[in-house]
């Protein structure tokens, strides 16, 4: 009996270890976000791929001349405005999230492969840039992850949850969850910004702002003639000769595109500051004042 039992235990352990071994071997399918097994029966969404084709085409097109650059940038800006102002229907197209991703990836690649090749960025500057970029990615990743988690199990309930909405909340058609008034659905990140991930959203925007500001400054001072603003801070001065060469023009145009993004992040942050912070910090202020008056 005793021997049998130990034998059985031994078998168990053996089976467990083999199971573990199977589990711990990594395959390519596990590493790729969309495994080949998935894409076999589910065709890759065209909407998600399009930005990765359209954006480089637009950027290459705008390298032809100053006028074309201006037209293309205005065109992109108008498109973004139109999309933003459209009534928010039940639209879960991954196109916009893909657009954000492709913008980030292309700008990163052009910085690291195009601008760095001119050998005018020092190691320290490159390191600071990468650090800022990593932080940005981390915060936005966290924002997405928290939103996904909330969607699956969080406190914000799904459709079956109370049909009666409180005064300061509305129902997000896209995420199919109830969101507070303060929070919203972002098509550019393809997720809802809720109370749990709001802080990640703001932090991501702040770091995105810093990364874009730093990156475009480095890029523009590299491709253009810079001047010393103060101390070691340089600013671009004369960008007239960038269109003579294709790679310089591409770097320049991407920097201009980055400046557009910088403007948008600035507006988003400004909105957060103007609308939300006074409203929600008011009670705290009152607390402090109460403490002082007592």
Partner 1 sequence: MRHYVFKKKVLYCGIFVITLIILLHPDRNARGTYEFIAKKNILNNLLQETALNFSSTAISDCDYYKVIYDDTTLPISIIEEDLVEGHRIKEGGEYAPFDCRPKFSTAIVVPYREKAEQLRGFLVYMHMFLRRQHIHYRIYVVEQVDSRPFNRAKLMNIGAVAAMQAGYPCLVLHDVDLLPLKPANLYACTKLPRHMSSSINKFRFVLPYLNLFGGAISIASKQFKEVNGMSNVYFGWKGEDDDLYSRLETHNLKLTRFEPATSRYYMSSHQKQEIEKKRNNLFYHTKESMVTDGLNSLKYIEVATVLHPLFTHIMVDL
Q: Which parts of this chain interact with partner 1 (CB under 8 A)? A: 20, 23-24, 26, 30-31, 112, 116-127, 130, 221-222, 225-228, 234, 241, 244-245, 248
In the complex with partner 1, which residue's Cβ is closer, 101 or 268? Answer: 101
CA within 13 Å, CB half, 71: 9
User: Cβ 227 to partner 1, closest distance in Å?
Assistant: 7
Please count the residues of the chain.
294
Of the pair 232, 290, the CB lying nearest partner 1 is at: 232
| CB closer to partner 1, 129 vs 189 | 129
Q: How far is the CB of 148 from partner 1 (least distance, A)?
A: 16
Q: Is 133:108 a contact under the CB 8 Å cutoff?
A: yes
Nearest Cα neighbor of 93 from 47, 55, 52 is 47
For residues 47 and 120, which CB has a smaller minimum distance to partner 1 in the complex? Answer: 120
Measured at the CA of 92, the angle between CA 86 and CA 95, to 5 degrees, comes to 80
77-110 residues labelled b (16+ CB within 10 A) or e (exposed): eeebeeeeeeeeeeebbbbbbbbbbbbbebbbeb
Residue 32 or 57: which CB sits closer to partner 1?
A: 32
Handedness of CA 172, 176, 179, 182 (dihedral sign): negative
CA distance 155 to 149: 10
Which of 108, 105, 89 minimizes the C-alpha distance to 97? 105
**Cβ(194)–Cβ(101) under 8 Å?**
no
Q: What's the min distance (Å) between Cβ of 278 and partner 1?
A: 39
Kindly state the smallest distance separating residue 116's Cβ from partner 1, in Å.
6
CB of 171 to partner 1, least distance (A): 34
| Minimum separation from the CB atom of position 252 to partner 1 (A) | 13
As a whole number of angstroms, the distance between CA 214 and CA 132 comes to 9
Residue nearer to partner 1 on the CB measure, 82 or 244? 244
């Amino acid at each position: 009996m005793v021997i049998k039992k130990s034998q059985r235990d031994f078998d168990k352990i053996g089976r467990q270890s083999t199971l573990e071994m199977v589990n711990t071997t990594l395959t390519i399918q596990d590493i790729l976000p969309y495994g080949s097994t998935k894409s076999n029966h589910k065709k890759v969404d065209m909407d998600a791929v399009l930005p990765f084709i359209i954006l480089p085409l637009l950027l290459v097109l705008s390298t032809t001349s100053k006028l074309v650059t201006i037209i293309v940038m205005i065109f992109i800006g108008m498109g973004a405005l139109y999309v933003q102002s459209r009534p928010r229907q039940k639209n879960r197209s991954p196109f916009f999230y893909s657009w954000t991703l492709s913008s980030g990836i292309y700008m990163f690649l052009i910085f690291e492969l195009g601008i760095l090749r001119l050998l005018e960025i020092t190691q320290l500057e490159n390191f600071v840039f990468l650090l800022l970029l990593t932080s940005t990615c981390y915060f936005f990743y966290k924002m997405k992850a928290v939103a996904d988690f909330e969607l699956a199990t969080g406190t914000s309930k799904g459709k079956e949850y109370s049909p009666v909405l409180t005064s300061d909340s509305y129902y997000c058609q896209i995420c199919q969850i109830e969101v507070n008034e303060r929070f919203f659905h972002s098509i550019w990140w393809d997720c809802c910004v809720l109370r749990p991930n709001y802080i990640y959203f703001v932090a991501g925007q702040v770091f995105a702002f810093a990364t874009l500001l730093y990156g475009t400054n480095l890029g523009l001072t590299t491709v253009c003639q810079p001047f010393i603003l103060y101390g070691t801070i340089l600013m671009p001065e004369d960008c007239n000769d960038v269109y003579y060469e294709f790679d310089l023009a591409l770097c320049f145009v991407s920097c201009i595109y980055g400046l557009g993004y910088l403007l948008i992040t600035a507006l988003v942050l400004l909105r957060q500051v103007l609308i939300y912070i006074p409203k929600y910090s008011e009670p705290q202020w009152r607390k402090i004042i109460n403490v002082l008056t007592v």
